[in-house]
Amino acid sequence: MITRYHAKYYAQLLSQKSVGDNLQNLSQSLLNSAVDINPHQIDAALFAFKSPLSKGVVLADEVGLGKTIEAGLVLCQMWSTGKRKIIIVCPASLRKQWRFELAEKFGIASEILDAKVFNAYVAEGKNPFSYNRVIICSYNFAAKKKAEVLRHGFDLAIVDEAHKLRNVYRKSARTAADVRDALAGTKKLLLTATPFQNSLMELYGLTTVIDPNFFGSEKTFRRDYGNGENIDELRFRIKPLFTRTLRKNVKEYINYTKRLPLTQKFTSTDEEYELYEDVSEFLRREDIYSVPAGQRKLTTMIIRKILASSIFALISTLTHIRERLERMLKKEQMERFDADELLGDDEPDFMADVEEDTEDSYEETDMFDEDDAISIPKLKAEIALLNSFIAKAKKIRKESKAEALLAALKESFQIQSKSGAQRKALIFTESTKTQAFLRDSLEANGYEGKIVLFNVKACEPQTNEIYKKWCDAHPDKVSGIKAADRRAAIVDYFKNSAEIMIATEAASEGLNLQFCSLVINYDLPWNPQRIEQRIGRCHRYGQKYDVVVVNFINTRNYADVCVFDLLSKKFKLFDDVFGASDEVLGKADSIDFESRILQIYQQCRSKEEIDAAFEKLQNDMQEEIDTRMDEVRKQVIEHFDINVQEHLRTTKDATGAFLNRYQHIFWELTKFVLSSEAVFDDAKHTFRLQVPVAGCKKGVYCMLNASDSEGIPYRLSHPLAQHVLNTALSLDTEDGAEIHFSEKAMQMNATLPEYLQDQEGYLIMAQLKVASVEEEQYTIFTALTEQGRTLSQDDCEKLFLNGGRESPVEAIPPRILDSLQQNSERRCAAKLKMIDERNLGYFQQEETRIFNWERDMLNGLEEELSTVKKAILQAERDALRADSIQAKLEAQQHVDELNRKKRRLRNELDDKEDDVSIMRRNMIAELQKRIISQADSAKVFIIHFSTKVKK
């Protein structure tokens, strides 16, 4: 039981803003996060908040340690404190995953913004960047819309897979430069496990993305650090920007399971092989109407992927292509090509994947012209050829790979049985047509009633039935967002009823399926990142068993064998504890791995040609980091602190205590405000809202730490929780009440120290608001016992962790009141002094950075001038040794040119010194403006308190 004074204090504590790398600065984020947070993730998030004057940081943890969670904590805290102009820039294939992670783990709305959505907003006269949700976009989109992104002025930008920007200093890296320019002036979080790979210049590139004035010029950085020299100085300078945790340091509290590869080989039949070869040869032709010249790469990739998926899907695709050509024949004119028509309405998942992998390729022209001449005989011949392909495909009644799937399932389920894992299999395919074919095939072979499909189509009868039953059985879980509820229903059905889920990537992105430990790649994407995401649905933090990963190899298709060998051995996708490293995935991305594979399939026919092409590809991949650069990276960003593990243990304990306290406060405050509208279960941390409140529907709500998660997630950002906070903040807490604190009045075990037991006295609570580098709010307590003992801030907070009863009391004596108010003013002044000292530290750190930048800039010019002076001395010697009048004249001309260059450089140096000095003074003046504090304190309430046990 708490009082209205407790409630007001709790509400202020839960909503107050602070600055710096302390847990209080993550309070709202921690109470909004539905995820088990590890201590290194807390450390990384706090590192991002270390200095409010910083322009950003790089979170560079090794792969598998949850950089997304770290960035999510920072994002959630900023969102909770009102800074809601936030953008996430990531590879197109990760956009949906970010959207689901934000919704599921932090309860934050977001929208994927691409060209189509952006243009639709503009057409309606709306601002596409309105900040009622987080914006998620691809690198290409941010680059193309850099002016609009820059003009909007975001509070925070998270850049995932940020190693894509590390060559930004090169003139050829135009997209990277455009992304950097789009985010200029925005605080940034860069996420990458490999901030540099082949050269320290890549580290320079990333720092310029955060702050172009962190180092001097590219030339001076290369001179000072490019050869791996001055490592200690470099490490010291980048220390405020980079944080990195290694896997070896977190094994104590993160249990990693293995990936167990199971390769199922099969041999295609003569009929299957003949069909594959026929279609492949057809796709190699450059004079066909089926593949428009302007979108040859896109169209060929689609058909190739369908060809590798299933014959059932291929028939559908070839039929759609034929129908387009028949329309052209009927009209006797060209028809505009639409990639969606290539697949019809049956493959929304497949098209979503292709759009993400090719990003904005649909903005390219298809070079369509209605007046282009058509060769009727040629068109008829092509239609006839397509008909022959379709006829051949329809004659194939059984697919060899489908037969192999049955064998793989049998063996995999046996492995699961031996390990004690649940009998669950997640089968991935890129095609919804193949998905339906597999369901029918498996149901005809003993799996009827054990299968659930997962795709983006809303008209699937089984899905609709599952969704309806789930809504009826779990009314409290229904969010009202149909797509999210449908996903939750299917996952619930897979977990509790089905044995096999057949899923497409487009539908399953963002899902957590740790209860399943078998992943089957029925068809294998060429994008290694997509394979990693597939396996990551099951092989992730929280998985209790080793995950079996099944792949199929057609031994009759040599190119398929080579692709699998490359993905398996070079990428280590299938058998490593951590899967593919960010280094290898980054290398694949840099050489456009997927396009290179397509090129091999298109151009290579013989075994010798395929071998040569794959050898070339592997050589390009093999431009790995040499041993020396590996050592440099360890020295620069992996500097091992022998106390790091002890520090992480301390962080874990501190976070646990902090969360326990704040969750308790949040729970008790909710109980107090909603006492007449809800029924609470203290044991489960759930409550049933019996009437709608503040627009929130009635039903069961559960705290994020609840033992029973059956209900609507109740987090600090929920509208109902915001109603609770606002109600408590507006409570009337007049002076003069007595609060009798009792340890037994609340469930939290908050034992008072002996000197606070059997005491009484007076207490004042004030709120201090500070505006300097950021807005800050603090609750300041002052208390005196009847014996004249002054209680500390910590003592007073402990009092309010105990329950209490309120009763009236006589007026507070003026002498006591004056003493309390004077002490409160002194404590506010002491807090302000601490803030000023802290701000001075921020200022000095930035001032040092600016002076280092100035030194870099001027040293570069001075070195160039020194080089010219040396060249003049040498040229003068050469002139003295000239062996002819002509040679002497030419040598003297060279000396004159060098002298002119020297004078020009000296003038430039003088001008540059002035310019740099002005820039430095301007930077420091801007810092000084931000560092000036404006403070205001106000009394919230004064009470008489007692901890005496009433007899």
CA–CA gap between residue 87 and residue 90 (Å, rounded) = 10
Structure tokens, 606: 């013989």
**pLDDT tops 60 at residue 845:** yes
Distant-in-sequence, close-in-space partners of 196: CB < 8 Å, separation ≥ 6: 166, 202, 203, 206, 633
pLDDT in tens, 754-794: 888 889 999 999 999 988 778 889 999 999 998 889 999 99
pLDDT given at position 372: 64
How many structural domains are present in the chain?
2
Distance CA 238, CA 36 (A): 30
Is 201 domain-assigned? yes
Burial class (CB in 10 A: 0-12, 13-18, 19+), 33: buried
32 touches 218 (CB < 8 A): no
Rounded average pLDDT over 655-665:
84
Percentage, residues of the chain above pLDDT 70: 87
* Spatial distance between the Cα atoms of 701 and 688, rounded to a whole number of angstroms: 6
What are the respective helix, strand and coil percentages of the chain, to the nearest 5?
55, 15, 30
Can you tell me the mean pLDDT for 694-717?
84
What are the beta bridge partners of residue 771? 775, 934
Question: Is pLDDT of 639 > 60?
Answer: no
- Binning pLDDT at 50, 70 and 90, where does residue 872 land? confident
More confidently predicted of 322 and 364: 322
- Looking at beta carbons, which pairs linking 877-886 to residues 24 or more positions away fall under 8 Å? none
In angstroms, the CA 339 to CA 348 distance is 11
What is the structure's pLDDT at 746? 65
Which residue, of 194, 219, 249, is where some domain finishes?
Answer: 249
Q: Which one has a higher pLDDT value, 950 or 841?
A: 841
Residue 946, C-beta contacts closer than 8 angstroms, at least 6 positions apart: 738, 739, 740, 741, 759, 760
Q: Check pLDDT > 50 for residue 425.
A: yes
Q: For position 508, what pLDDT does the model report? A: 66
Residue 639 belongs to a domain: no
CA distances from 384 to 292, 378, 379, 612 (A): 18, 10, 9, 35
Q: Give pLDDT, residue 880.
A: 81
Per the structure block, which two tokens stand in for 360?
């904005």
Six token digits for residue 92 = 């197109």
> 622: pLDDT confidence band, cut at 50, 70 and 90?
low
Buried b or exposed e, range 869-900, using 16+ CB within 10 angstroms: eebbeebbebbeeeeeeeeeeebeebbeebee
Q: Are 546 and 518 in contact (CB under 8 A)?
A: no
How far apart CA 346 and CA 315 sit, in angstroms, is 12
Question: Is 605 inside any structural domain?
Answer: no
* Residue 623 pLDDT level (bands cut at 50, 70, 90): low
pLDDT at residue 894 in the model? 83
Output DSSP code: residue 155.
Answer: S
- Sheet with 760-771, side-by-side order of all strands: 790-791, 775-785, 760-771, 934-946, 737-742, 803-808
At residue 353, the pLDDT reads: 56
Is residue 834 domain-resident? yes
Question: Would you state the pLDDT for residue 10?
Answer: 95
pLDDT at 345: 57
Nearest residue to 372 (alpha-carbon basis) of 293, 286, 283: 293
Report the pLDDT averaged over residues 584-594. 62
The domain boundary residue, chosen from 181, 216, 249: 249
Q: Give the mean model confidence (pLDDT) for residues 933-940.
A: 86
> Last residue of a domain, which of 215, 231, 249?
249
Which amino acid is located at 832 in the chain?
A: L
Give the structural domain span for 135.
33-249
pLDDT of residue 182 exceeding 80, the answer is yes
Phi-psi region of 449 (alpha: psi -120 to 50; beta: other; left: phi over 0): left
d(CA 210, CA 238): 12
Judge whether 242 lies within some domain: yes
Location of structure tokens 């001395």: 873
The answer to whether the pTM exceeds 0.75 is: no
Give the tokens for residue 100.
């689901």
User: How many residues are listed for the chain in this entry?
Assistant: 951
Q: What are phi and psi of 501, to 5 degrees?
A: -110, 125
Can you tell me the distance from the alpha carbon of 327 to that of 345, in angstroms, rounded to the nearest whole number?
Answer: 18
Yes or no: say if 157 and 125 are a contact pair by the CB < 8 Å rule: no
pLDDT for the residue numbered 383: 94
Task: Return the pLDDT at 361.
Answer: 40
Q: What is the DSSP string of 698-749?
A: PEEEEETT-S---SEEE-TTSHHHHHHHHHHHT----TTEEEEEEGGGSSS-
What's the pLDDT score for residue 561? 87
Please tell me the predicted confidence (pLDDT) of residue 342: 65
d(CA 149, CA 273): 51
**Sheet hosting strand 242-243, strand order edge to edge:** 110-112, 134-138, 86-90, 156-159, 187-191, 56-59, 242-243
What distances in angstroms separate CA 670 from CA 400, 675, 745, one per listed residue?
60, 8, 16
Ordered DSSP codes for 550-602:
EEEEETT-HHHHHHHHHHHHTT-TTTSSS-S-HHHHHHHHHTTHHHHHHHHHH
Tell me what pLDDT residue 792 has: 93
**Three-state SS string across 483-543, please?**
HHHHHHHHHHHHHHCCCEEEECHHHHCCCCCCCCCEEEECCCCCCHHHHHHHHHCCCCCCC
Report percent pLDDT > 90 for the chain. Answer: 36
Average pLDDT of the chain, as a whole number: 84
> What pLDDT, on a 0 to 100 scale, did the predictor assign at position 668?
93
* Distance (Å) of CA 107 to CA 32, 471, 486, 647: 7, 20, 17, 30
Does residue 508 fall inside a structural domain? no
Q: Is residue 569 part of a domain?
A: no
Instruction: Tell me what pLDDT residue 315 has.
Output: 94
Q: Which residues contact 52 (CB under 8 A, 6 or more apart)?
A: 19, 20, 773, 774, 842
Supply the pLDDT for residue 626.
44
List the one residue out of 362, 510, 527, 340 whose CA is nearest residue 430.
527
Task: In whole angstroms, give the CA distance from residue 571 to residue 411.
Answer: 25
Q: Is the pLDDT of residue 413 over 80?
A: yes
Read off the pLDDT of residues 444-501 as tens digits, 9 standing for 90 and up: 999 999 999 987 665 678 888 999 999 898 877 776 667 778 888 999 999 999 999 9
Token digits of residue 18: 């602070």
* E strand or H helix at 90: strand 86-90
The reported pLDDT for the residue numbered 510 is 66
CA distance 525 to 314: 16
- Residue 183 located in a structural domain: yes
Q: What is the pLDDT of residue 254?
A: 73
- Spatial contact of 601 and 280, defined as CB atoms under 8 Å apart: yes
Confirm if 940 and 903 have CB atoms less than 8 A apart. no
The CATH number of the domain holding residue 43 is: 3.40.50.10810
Higher pLDDT: 907 or 86? It is: 86
